[in-house]
Copies of this chain bind each other. A is one copy, B any other.
Amino acid sequence: MKGKAKIRVGVLGATGAVGQRFVQMLQGHPWFELSVLCASQRNAGRRYGDACNWLLRGDMPAHLQDIVLEEMGPGIDCQLVFSALPSGPARTMEAELAAAGYVICSNASAYRYDPDVPLLIPEVNPEHVEMIDGQRRGRGWPGFITTNPNCSTTHLVSALHPLHEAFEVRKVFVVTMQAVSGAGYSGVTSMDIIDNVVPYIGSEEEKMERREPQKLLGRYDGTAVQAADFVVSAHCNRVPVRNGHLAAVSVEFARRPSLEDVRRAWAEYEPLPQRMGLPSAPEQAILYREEADRPQPRMDRLAGSVPGMATVVGRLREDPLFHVKFLTLGHNTIRGAAGGSLLNAELLVSQGYLDAGDEDAGSRMPVADAILDGVR
């Protein structure tokens, strides 16, 4: 993108927790320029600094305070839209915007399971972007919608991907221990979680068992995604942790790998975003920890060269029932939400779906800095 103007982007639902992460991660982005902040009708017209209870550490960047929140809709001045809307409003608004020509990178679940909408993890299934043409044709939209998966699915499937490529996943047992931020700022009251675990998260197990992993690891045949053929059993739990979803995973493959095979598959994993150096892609997509007691949410949720964007794995060992067992950990509101959509957008640019090319101009550092700023 040398010498080119940045792509103007907007954020829907900018005052919420995920919306704030979008805003934070877009600070100093080499390709994108944050131009429009949209909020609900109630907040439209107010200053961002007034309407938004900034939840991230550090202060809201000063230059954002005076931006006036706009109402969502086809009039907004940008090319690309990041959506942090709840599922209901997302279903309507994202369609309306795509019909008006906008490109949508959505964190909402509204369109994730539609057969013509790509559910993307750029490391895992970048070729699913090809579904976009069919989507546009089929729906008659000049714009289009892409989505990223649920926060728990993201890191599970990221860890499984190189193993699936090499040994073909057949059965997956997964038990999650998920952070409270996954339910949103007010989602888990302190009365429920102090000195406690809540072993239930509404519709989470369905997403992990049937709706997302098989689509993500499926093959796009030019017409439709052929879902990958494996079975997942998921137990989802909420634990007293602020950020970072941990999961205990046991896997059976079509071809039994040795532990060394698995370790090597992770170590040698170098998917597209890393090869292309997309700005928000961490140098290593999967980080393996050797210690007996890692990964841990507080220690590892911001690991890697772009904090919060990598998946951390550890405790690889033989499984008495299946083949191997291990742990996965990842940041749920960075890679598991806003960061997932952002990397999707970078993938779209790199694949020519947004007219602003020349991705080699990208530098990872501004993104890393923006996040760390929030970490302080």
**A residues near B, CB below 8 A?**
17, 55, 57-58, 171, 173, 175, 177, 180-181, 185-200, 209, 231-233, 235, 237, 239-242, 246, 248, 250, 292-299, 302-303, 307, 314-315, 319-322, 325, 327, 372, 375-376
Nearest CB in chain B to that of A184: its residue: B191
A241 with B185: in contact, given A235-B248, A325-B233 (CB under 8 Å)? no
Chain copies in complex? 4
A297 touches B241 (CB 8 A): no
Contacts of A298 in B (CB 8 A): 57, 194-196
Contacts of A190 in B (CB 8 A): 180, 188-190, 192-194, 240, 242
Contacts of A171 in B (CB 8 A): 321
A200 touches B292 (CB 8 A): yes
Q: Other CB < 8 Å A-B pairs besides A181-B191, A199-B315, A303-B376, 8 of them?
A: A173-B321, A194-B242, A195-B297, A196-B298, A199-B293, A235-B248, A239-B240, A372-B376
A194 touches B296 (CB 8 A): no
A57 with B302: in contact, given A173-B250, A199-B315, A241-B196 (CB under 8 Å)? yes
Q: How far is the CA of A55 from the CA of B298 in the complex (A)?
A: 11
Q: How far is the CA of A196 from the CA of B300 in the complex (A)?
A: 10
